[in-house]
Amino acid sequence: STVVLVFQAPISLSQENRDSSSEFRFSVQRGDRVRVGEALGRWQDQ
């Protein structure tokens, strides 16, 4: 079984024109084992 999560998250407006500008950052890597409740990603206050 698989779960796919699709969501909006904050981005840095001042960097909108650049690539990889997202303020939201995934804190996991491909292949990582994760458990319920562990952070997938975080963002900062603007």
Partner 1 sequence: ASFLKKLHKTTQARSFSNGGGGGSKGDSFLLPGATVATLLMLGALHVRRMYDDRKVEEAQEKGTEFEFQPDVKSTFLRLLPLRSISRCWGLLTSVEIPVSLRPYVYGAWARAFNSNLEEAAFPLDEYASLREFFVRTLKEGSRPIDPDPQCLVSPVDGTVLRFGELRGAGAMIEQVKGFSYSAFSLLGASSFLPLIAKGDVNEESSEPENASREKSKKSWLRVSLASPKVRDPVSACPMKGLFYCVIYLKPGDYHRIHAPADWNVLVRRHFSGRLLPVNERATRTIRNLYVENERVVLEGLWKEGFMALAAVGATNIGSIELSIEPELRTNQARKKLLHSEPPEDRIYEPDGIGRTLKKGDEVAAFNMG
Q: Which of residues 1-46 bind partner 1 (CB under 8 A)?
A: 1-11, 13-14, 16-17, 22-24, 26-45
Shortest distance, CB of residue 44 to partner 1, whole angstroms? Answer: 7
How many residues touch partner 1 (CB under 8 A)? 38
Q: What amino acid occupies position 45?
A: D
Residues 6+ apart with CB under 8 A from 39: 27
Residues 6+ apart with CB under 8 A from 5: 40
Positions in the binding site for partner 1 (CB under 8 A): 1-11, 13-14, 16-17, 22-24, 26-45
